[in-house]
Structure 1
Amino acid sequence: MRLPLGTDTVDISLPDCDVTVLDRPGGTPVDPTAAAREALDAPHGPPLSTLVDPTDDVTIVVTDVTRATPDGVLVGAMMDRLPVDREQVSILVGLGLHRPMTDAELRDGLGEYADLAVNHDPEATVEVGTVEGVGDDRVPVRVHPLVANADSVLSTGMVEPHQYAGFSGGAKTVVIGAGDGALIGYTHGPDVLSRPGVRLGRIDDNPFRATVDRAGDAVGLDFCLNVTKGPDGILAASAGRPRAVVADLAATAREALSVPLSDTYDAVIGGVGAPKDANLYQTTRAFTYLVLGDHNPVSSGGRVVVPARLGEGAGEGTGETRFYDRLRTADDADALYEAMREGYDPGAQRAFVVARALRDHDLYITNAERPDVVEACPMHAAARVADAVDPGSRVLAVPDALNTLLVEA
């Protein structure tokens, strides 16, 4: 079998094991440019041309390098519909607490619009109001000045399975991507993440998603253009009101990515590939998506094996650093999980959910350029997938673990 590894693939042979390779329903890929234009022609709510005045200053918040969003295509489609001059448009890269994008990455992702782009700085934000959180909480919403001061705020996004929001996209690109530690820390804190509705693939009755959507209202996100993808490429685009866009594309994604399953396996191999396998922070999504989804396919005492490049090591942003510091200083997964239930800094939440999964299952990272980063944590590194799987194991291979929804059969 062949699994993704960086921008390439790796061949895996397990002749002594009983191997099942998962196959998703998938879907028919579409041309992203044509799909974006069609979505703008039939938006959820008023068309873009009527929402923006010719005198408006416009900010478009786009995704960063950790998302495989065709941002240049989406920005171009919106620019063609905006009744403003190019000089009135700013593009803000929604980093959240991730590292800034390089000039080369901006050119690659945004093409002719790269010169309009600014990397978000979570230390330089403006408060635009407060929103209701869970219970009686009120949460401050602070965003980059380019968002706070814009007459019209637009966004791109990728609606794909997300551990906390159910599906990413919609208001999340703006309020998390262009936000500060306050909202990020609250929504990613143990009180919210421990709520039963906060789960992979669920947007209804999800406190995380609901808080993010209310924050989008406070920011004044007027319009978004999002896409979703399947095994072979972009499946659909949707435009207009953020909540409706996410619901629309999440339905498409569920149909393409859901696999009913009842069995469990000694080892589950999760494929990641670029851009997510650039660092440990993003790579561990495969582990938690598999173990903490609707159906956990790993037997008691079983393991998850993930081939990943890890060219950036643990990761270079504030969130990645906090995540790694928590894991590399942990005595064991149980102690780390219990300690983090008391709270943690924004960005460290991925260590919290990884610790939760590590209490029940081992994680092996293979083929990594930085195995030392893995071994510093309560995880295991191996040169090859075959070295991480015991002979005679029942094995499930999930070639695209971040875009597969395992549901109870």
Structure 2
Amino acid sequence: MALITIPYGKTYIETQISDDHLQGVLIPKSHHYKAEAGEQDLVRMALENPVASPRLCELAKGRRKVVIITSDHTRPVPTKITAPLLIEEIRRSSPAAEVTFLVATGFHRETTKEELLDKFGGQMVRDEKIVVHNCWAKETMTKAGRLPSGGELVINKLAMEADLLIAEGFIEPHLFAGFSGGRKSILPGIVSDVTVLANHCAEFIAHKKAKAGMLTGNPMHEDMMYAAKQAKLAFILNVALDADKKIIRAFAGDSEQAHLAGCKFVEELARVEGKMADIVITSNGGYPLDQNVYQHVKALSAAAATCRAGGVIIACAACNDGHGSQDLYEWLRGGARQAMDIIMQTDKNATIPDQWATQIMARILLEYTVIFVTDQCDHQIIRDMGFETAFTVEEALAAAQLKVGPHYQITVIPDGVAVIVQ
């Protein structure tokens, strides 16, 4: 028997799987990567040796209005480590600079005060100016041209009016943008709902190059790069993380070149050989990404890449924040087939909120049975969306076995957001 450990909320779920049925466990190299220094030292090294850019302290000379874009409550960016070092670097040469942290919520709900405290720490919340982006607040936005795809580019005024625009974040495989980090801090991070919807259209979501690990020829990435250039994103600090959300490498410098360097590093660690199976067990890597159903489009996509047609995907997901999107809930409550038919007939200039997540979820539901394992969410909410539910992995496996028969194979992807399945 193999003992399998799967991230769940801020803890783990353990289950045993017979060796006769276990096809494989797909784990990225990042989970066992030994960093060459401590977290703070890694960040300092990156800031002192930026990629294709002067040091941040040089860029900050004479700048009065500095904006640092940071990720929201759904991302495990170690801001308590990175933010003080960014401020230290800026004020080394520009002590009077007004620094504002702009929380990039994208199309998500606003980050709460409690979540800000958890992210920044009490002292940072007290001492620094922090603004939470709201993509629906038109008065906080300004037009910045048109995306290569034709959509209107509308960006938060704070960023556009800054003397120096910086972004911090982390890099991981992303199911349709190729990788997170870098230019994603702008689009979808701090743009309007109109811009997010234009970029997340059905045509792009279905594009063969809009997938994990792919940047070249990816139309969503091209839109994002354009947005970053229009916003004049001057400098980034992006980190790579291990299974415990600890920094294992940091990349700082030019918003394009430093990001590419980080993507190359992450890709080398994230690519895993698929092990086709009848049942695939996965997770979103635990907190903070497993707070709702909405975010699990990521782990489900990774699982689908190595699950046989008609198979079963089991997602270990706390979902303590419920479905995470009323729009996604309403879409899927009407049935996956109906949702997909409507979406594929929707013009790219008329994209509907959370259509993109629905499109991917519906695509998966039309081919696989998906069982969510959770004891922190009302199961009826999840069932309304077309998924099945269980309180334990053992319960989910028993249900899965009835669907695929006695001669089944199981593949486990403990952290579905950290891998690129090939």
| Secondary structure of 1:242 counterpart | coil
> Quick one: distance in 2 between partners of 1:196 and 1:93?
31
Instruction: Give the Cα–Cα distance (whole angstroms) in 1 for the partners of residues 19 and 56 of structure 2.
Output: 58
Q: Where do 5+ consecutive residues of structure 1 fail to align? A: none
Question: Deviation string for 1:215-273 (max 9, x for gaps)?
Answer: 11001111111111233532211111111122111111111121123x41010000221
Correspondence for 1:169 among 152, 160, 181 = 181
Aligned mates of 2:301, 2:272 — CA distance in 1: 17
Q: Is the 8 A contact 2:297 2:360 kept in 1?
A: no
In the alignment, what sits opposite 2:328?
323
Whole-Å separation in 2 of the counterparts to 1:87 and 1:308: 42
**TM-score (ref. length: structure 1):** 0.91
Q: Does residue 80 in structure 1 map to residue 88 in structure 2?
A: yes
**Does the CA-based 8 Å contact 2:152-2:198 persist in structure 1?**
no
- Alignment equivalent of 1:106, drawn from 112, 116, 131: 116
Q: How many angstroms apart in 2 are the aligned matches of 1:194 and 1:21?
A: 28
- What SS does structure 1 have at the residue aligned with 2:256? helix
Decide which of 6, 11, 16 is 1:8's aligned counterpart.
Answer: 11
> Which amino acid in the other structure matches residue 309 of structure 2?
S
* 1:25 to partner: Cα distance: 2.7
In the alignment, structure 1 residue 341 sits paired with structure 2 residue 348: no
Helix, strand or coil: the match of 1:312?
coil
Cα distance in 2, alignment partners of residues 110 and 87 from structure 1? 20
Q: Distance in 2 between matches of 1:16 and 1:24?
A: 21
Amino acid at match of 2:241: K
Match of residue 24 from structure 1: 28
Given that residues 367 and 382 in structure 1 are in contact (C-alpha distance below 8 angstroms), is that contact kept between their aligned partners in structure 2? yes
Tell me the C-alpha RMSD between the 2 structures.
Answer: 1.8
Aligned pairs (5 A) from 1:108-147: 108-111=118-121, 112-115=123-126, 116-124=129-137, 125-134=140-149, 137=150, 139-147=151-159
Give the C-alpha shift of residue 55 in structure 1: 4.2
Q: Which of 198, 216, 225 lines up with 1:186 in the alignment?
A: 198
Q: CA deviation at 1:75?
A: 1.6
Describe the SS at the equivalent of 2:290. Answer: helix
Equivalents in 2 of 1:35, 1:246: separation in Å? 16
1:207 aligned to 2:219?
A: yes
Give the C-alpha shift of residue 289 in structure 1.
Answer: 2.8
SS at 1:238's partner residue? Answer: strand
Give yes or no for contact 1:271–1:400 (8 Å, CA) kept in 2. Answer: yes
CA distance in structure 1 between the partners assigned to 2:231 and 2:152 by the alignment: 11
What are the equivalent positions in structure 2 for 1:7-406 lying under 5 Å apart? 7-15=10-18, 18-19=21-22, 20-26=24-30, 27-29=33-35, 30-44=37-51, 45-82=53-90, 83-85=93-95, 88-111=98-121, 112-115=123-126, 116-124=129-137, 125-134=140-149, 137=150, 139-232=151-244, 233-261=246-274, 263-272=275-284, 273-291=286-304, 296-315=305-324, 320-328=325-333, 330-331=334-335, 333-343=336-346, 344-370=351-377, 371-389=379-397, 390-391=400-401, 392=406, 393-406=408-421
Q: 1:24 and 1:61 mapped to 2: Cα distance?
A: 28
Alpha-carbon distance, 1:308 to partner: 1.1
Quote the Cα distance in structure 2 between the aligned partners of 1:290 and 1:14: 17
2:320 counterpart letter in structure 1:
G
Count of residues paired in the alignment = 393
Of 268-277 and 341-350, more deviation after overlay is shown by 341-350
Q: Greater shift after overlay, 302-311 or 108-117?
A: 108-117
State the shift of 1:17 in Å. 6.0
Counterpart Cα distance in 1 of 2:355 and 2:84:
35
Looking at structure 2, the residues matched to 122 and 237 of structure 1 have their Cα atoms a distance apart, in angstroms, of 29
Whole-angstrom CA distance in 2 between matches of 1:84 and 1:347: 41
Measure how far apart 1:183 and its partner are: 1.6
Q: Please state how far the C-alpha of 1:285 moved relative to its aligned partner.
A: 1.9
Displacement, 1:395? 0.5
Of 125-134 and 391-400, deviating more is: 125-134
SS class of match (1:175)? coil
Summarize the Cα distance change of 1:108–1:251 in structure 2 as closer, same or farther, 3 Å threshold. same
Give the Å deviation of 1:174: 2.3
CA contact (8 A) 1:32 1:70 kept: no
TM-score normalised by length of structure 2: 0.88
Question: Does structure 2 retain, via aligned residues, the 8 Å contact 1:323–1:349?
Answer: no
Question: Partners of 1:153 and 1:369 in 2: how far apart?
Answer: 39
- Counterpart-to-counterpart distance in 1, 2:258 and 2:420: 20
